[in-house]
């Protein structure tokens, strides 16, 4: 079975194509292709309230290419979801209608809480030590999703309008930060030690740079170290020193700032970075829905 997921975020759009095979009643997901296009919709939406003409055309062209790739790979099932930037864009529905007409792709605008649920759909915590509680932290361009998992079930999920592009545009007020801090201190509590599970391109990059072994948790001190190093550098200096693209170099410091605050307020010392995403969660949720209908 070939399943595709399209995630249209505030910083980039992704197409993930997976082949799913059942072996001894267990599903195995094999990545066939992952394509990332840095549309950067949040830079328009969070400052002007809508997606500008240039980025509008980029969305339409990107979705047309995604449709062609899905046909080449003979995708049988797909789901396309848009998150924070498209949620806030005044012309979001207009663009969705054009994409449907020109690329024959149905885009759903999902809530922040639905986004948090999709990250949880990866079910990473179930495979980890039951002696700990786990906080999923997904940092995007427009929002941060938190999902708290303890004793084999989800205890709490919430989406905050705190994202890397919003921070770059100066749109996150001290009051918004305080709301997040109060919510974390009130809701993310356990007698067990809490460990984070991080997702998003920025934490993936930091994890690979840290040389932490795959499958092992990274210490929060690594996040603090890179935040201290990077925040005094220009975007160009970050690009040269760390060999990263411009569309990563500008958002990586705001992302580290968010991860650092969340982990500090929740008193978390370690974070797993299993390279999961909304797109991965979408593929898993599509597969679960199909198998449940059988």
d(CA 203, CA 208): 9
Residue 88 C-alpha from the chain's centroid: 17
The least confident of 32-36, 164-168, 212-216, 269-273 is 212-216
% of the chain residues with pLDDT over 70: 99
Local confidence band at 125 (pLDDT 50, 70, 90 cut-offs): low
pLDDT at 70: 97
Beta-sheet strands, E only, within the chain: 2-8, 13-23, 26-37, 77-82, 107-109, 132-139, 144-150, 153-160, 193-199, 218-219, 270-272
Res 114 pLDDT > 90: no
End-to-end CA distance of the chain: 14
Q: Is the pLDDT of residue 12 over 70?
A: yes
Q: What is the pLDDT of residue 96?
A: 96
**Confidence grade of residue 294 (pLDDT, cut at 50, 70, 90):** low
Structure confidence at residue 245 as a pLDDT band (50, 70, 90) = very high
Q: Tell me the per-residue pLDDT of 19-72, one tens digit each, with 9 for 90 and over.
A: 999 888 788 999 999 999 999 999 999 999 999 999 999 999 999 999 999 999
Model-level pTM? 0.87
- Identify the pLDDT of residue 46: 93
**DSSP of 124-162:** -GGGS-TTEEEEEEEE-SS-EEEEEEETTEEEEEEEES-
Rounded Cα distance, 226 and 238, in Å: 11
Q: Is 247 exposed, middle or buried (0-12, 13-18, 19+ CB in 10 A)?
A: middle
* Cα–Cα distances in angstroms (integers) from residue 85 to residues 11, 40, 47, 117, in the given order: 9, 9, 11, 18
CA pair distance 233, 249, nearest whole angstrom? 10
Which residue, 152, 156, 151, is CA-closest to 136? 156
Residue 109: other Cβ atoms inside 10 A: 17
pLDDT tens-place string over residues 174-228:
999 999 999 999 999 999 999 999 998 899 999 999 988 988 999 999 999 999 9
What are 219's strand-pairing partners? 270
pLDDT tens digits, one per residue of 129-160: 888 999 999 999 999 999 999 888 888 999 99
CB-CB contact of 273 with 214 (8 Å): no
Q: What is the mean pLDDT of residues 223-248?
A: 95
> Pick from 134, 184, 176: which is nearest to 158 by CA?
184
- Distance, CA of 190 to CA of 73 (rounded, Å): 45
């Amino acid at each position: 079975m070939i399943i595709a997921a399209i995630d249209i975020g505030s910083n980039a759009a992704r197409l993930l194509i997976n082949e799913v095979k059942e072996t001894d009643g267990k599903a195995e997901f094999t990545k066939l292709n992952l394509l990332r296009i840095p549309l950067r919709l949040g830079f328009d939406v969070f400052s002007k309230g809508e997606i500008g003409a240039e980025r509008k055309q980029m969305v339409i062209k990107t979705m047309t290419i995604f449709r062609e790739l899905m046909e080449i790979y003979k995708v049988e099932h797909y789901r396309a979801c848009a998150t924070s930037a498209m949620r806030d864009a005044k012309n979001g529905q207009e663009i969705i209608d054009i994409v449907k007409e020109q690329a024959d792709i149905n885009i759903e605008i999902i809530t922040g809480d639905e986004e948090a649920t999709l990250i949880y759909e990866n079910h990473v915590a179930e495979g980890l030590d039951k002696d700990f509680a786990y906080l999923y932290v997904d940092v995007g361009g427009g929002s941060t999703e938190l999902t708290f998992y303890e004793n084999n079930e989800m205890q709490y999920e919430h989406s905050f309008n705190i994202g890397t592009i919003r921070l770059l545009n100066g749109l996150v007020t001290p009051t918004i930060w305080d709301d997040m801090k109060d919510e974390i201190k009130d809701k993310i509590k356990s007698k067990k030690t809490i460990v984070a599970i991080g997702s998003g391109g920025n934490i993936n990059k930091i994890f690979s740079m840290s040389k932490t072994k795959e499958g092992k948790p990274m210490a929060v001190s690594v996040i603090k170290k890179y935040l201290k190093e990077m925040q005094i550098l220009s975007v160009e200096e970050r690009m040269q020193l760390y060999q990263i693209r411009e569309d990563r170099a500008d958002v990586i410091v705001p992302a580290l700032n968010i991860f650092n605050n969340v982990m500090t307020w929740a008193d978390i010392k370690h974070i797993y970075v299993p390279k999961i995403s909304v797109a991965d969660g979408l593929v898993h949720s599509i597969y679960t829905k199909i198998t449940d209908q059988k």
